[in-house]
Chain A
Amino acid sequence: MTEAKTSDGENAADNPILYVARPMATAARQFAKSLRRPSTIVYPYERLEDPRFRDQVAVEPGRPIGVGQVWDNYRGVHALNIATCISCNLCAFSCPDICIEMVTVPGDDPKHPKKCPQIDYGKCSYCGFCSDACPEGCLTMTTRYELSTPHRAEMVYSPQKLNEVFRSKLPMNPIRLELPENEDRILLDPPLCIGCNACARDCPTQCITMLDVPRPDAKPGEKLPKRIWKEPVVNDSDCVRCGTCISVCPKECLFWGSRP
């Protein structure tokens, strides 16, 4: 237990000269410091994320405030690399504010259009869950923070606009979360599977292969189930755990679980 008291310990109220002179002396000292270099910067013309401030900022009087290298993992406007996006939907699923929508971007294959995130910055809370969730590292956050616009519709950034942010080569958030060792996998409930190929068709990483299963011999009087005699096999090292296969499975025969 400590008794809270002034840090110098003496009672300044006893000495009338001290309690007029001391605050004035402190204020005068501060004023003298501010003459050398102000604690602030001239914002629209100077910016703290400017690389030339990176090594200058310091905890010293007469220097612009800051502790250096604070912009390394800043969470600002996203940058999207459309070329490496695999359309896995994980960013949209992880968004707490439901501000990410997967929209079609024109691609090489008109039959299978590619879907990339479109972000509504009017709703975005800059939590970074989407860039944490991105398995390919194509959706990251940059140091851009100026978003003012007179029109609300301009707050919606299309994938192409996010790709332009990516091309502008801003510093990007380097933090990548590591998946845990005992990561759960996609498992199959074989009796339910009808071999429809939906999971393998929609898998963004093409890690599901349909392998033949032996067709059992029908006993007399028994009717075999009507199905394609194939079953999905998941390559765990390529799987990004997006759950697309589970959502498209018509028979709900895929599920999360740990493989022994």
Chain B
Amino acid sequence: MSEMWINMGPQHPMTHGLWNLRVKIDGEMVLDVDPEMGYLHRGIEKISEDRHYNEVITLMDRCCYVAGFAWEHLYILAAEQALHIRPPERAEYLRVMSDEFQRIGSHLMWYAAFVQDLGLMSPFLYGMRDRDLVLDLFQAYTGARLTYEYMRVGGVRNDVPPGFTDRARKVLDWLDDRYREYDALCMGSTIFRERCDDLGILKANDCVAHGVTGPMLRAAGVRRDLRKDRPYAVYKQIDFDVAQADAADVTARYLVRMEEMRQSNRILRQVLDWLDHHPGPMMADNLPRWLGAPYAPIGNEGYLLKRSYPKGTGFSAVEEPHGEACAYVVNEGALHPYRVKFRSPVFSNISAARQYLVGYHVADIPPIMGSVDVCVGEVDR
């Protein structure tokens, strides 16, 4: 047989977004792969240098369109460190609550897309249906379903509405039942197991060598979770376990994500209980004038000249649903960040595609890439 290159993408059911996977095949066997990114590049890092600190938040929601809260939290943590601001505790709990609901929402979205890659249509509908409940919760307190713009430098925009925590607990109870149902549908099915077992193996040392993080790393038997290893916000005070599996294949990644959703439920129950009993302010009270309000009106340039504001840099790392995301913000004392840099976990995860795709069949590519959980919005930024 002769070898040939084929393009899977930029428009292909496998890609889940706008990127191209070039595959070199010989018959059915994959000999080489070449991931091509950049179709969705919007220059978010450069645009950020032209916006006030709070206005960058609107870009963060569009960085990853299924995990907007994780990216908001990432940027806010770095910006607060650069500006020497400490948010009130209740705002931190609200951020953690948003983060964990976002993790559930993102993993449900992944579940729906992944099983659809395998050709299972009914679980896809169940996953999307249950994700809608999480989006409804977001809409109840932020006012939007996908682009939240909820966190602010120094706190969060508003408190949750009355009765919210009870409704959220109802959703968690409902989701607990659904996880059991997903397992019965997928892990209980021979077809699913035979399709996914021993597929797309990426061992722990390869993960570390290529910077692969998140559920893929944990599925390879490495216990690494930034919420435990480098606790941010209030994760230190919350009791939860790190999901882990050893097989390093597609099934292991499925199991890790399912376990993470159960752990998110556990975290959320503790956070909702805390929120019920600890009212408090939403914003830090020592904010400078041009950050205290959500706007930065004119005259501020002169204001900053008249009283110099401390400079600084901020670095933050957050366990995003897809992996470890990092942000670096440089504050040179102006109204805008001097430089913003993001590290996207999915970029590293799909850059290592050659390691876990070569040697399998062409028909194995959709399930393997599905188990990576690609979100092109944050790959290209």
Q: Which residues of A contact B (CB under 8 A)?
A: 1-8, 12-13, 16, 18-20, 22-23, 25-27, 30, 39, 57, 59, 65-75, 89-90, 93-94, 96-97, 125-129, 132-133, 141, 173, 175, 177, 179-184, 241-243, 246-247, 252, 254-257
Contacts and interface: CB of A to CB of B under 8 A. Distances in A.
Contacts of B171: 59, 67
Interface string B139-170: 11111100101000000011001010001101
A37 B376 CA distance: 36
B307 interface: yes
A246 B302 contact: yes
Given A69-B140, A180-B287, A133 B188 contact: no
A133 to B, nearest CB: 4
A27 B122 contact: yes
Given A90-B295, A175-B157, A129 B55 contact: yes
A133 B181 contact: no
Contacts of B173: 59
Query: Interface on chain A toward B: helix, strand, loop, or mixed SS?
Result: loop
Given A2-B244, A4-B256, A90-B295, 12 more contacts: A73-B142, A73-B143, A93-B298, A94-B295, A96-B55, A97-B58, A129-B295, A132-B293, A132-B295, A184-B289, A255-B299, A256-B302
Contacts of B143: 73-75, 128, 141, 173, 175
Nearest to B161: A72
21 contacts: A2-B242, A4-B243, A6-B188, A7-B258, A18-B188, A27-B122, A30-B181, A59-B174, A67-B167, A70-B136, A75-B143, A93-B298, A94-B295, A127-B147, A177-B294, A179-B292, A184-B303, A243-B297, A255-B299, A255-B303, A256-B303
B149 A128 contact: yes
B293 A133 contact: yes
A132 B189 contact: no
B262 interface: yes
Interface in B109-126: 122, 126
A230 to B, nearest CB: 21
A173 B143 CA distance: 8
A133 B122 contact: no
Contacts of A184: 289, 303
A27 B139 CA distance: 30
A76 to B, nearest CB: 9
B375 interface: no
A57 B171 CA distance: 12
Interface residues of B, number: 73
B188 A12 contact: yes
Contacts of B55: 96, 129
Given A12-B187, A74-B139, A93 B297 contact: yes
B83 to A, nearest CB: 15
CB-based closest 8 A-B pairs:
A94-B295, A246-B299, A184-B289, A4-B259, A96-B55, A4-B255, A256-B303, A133-B295
Interface in B165-217: 167-168, 170-171, 173-174, 179-181, 183-185, 187-190, 193
B129 to A, nearest CB: 5
A175 B158 contact: yes
B289 A183 contact: yes
Contacts of B287: 180
A243 B189 contact: no
Nearest to A18: B188
A130 B161 CA distance: 21
A140 to B, nearest CB: 11
A182 to B, nearest CB: 7
A72 B298 CA distance: 32
B223 interface: yes
Contacts of A243: 297-300
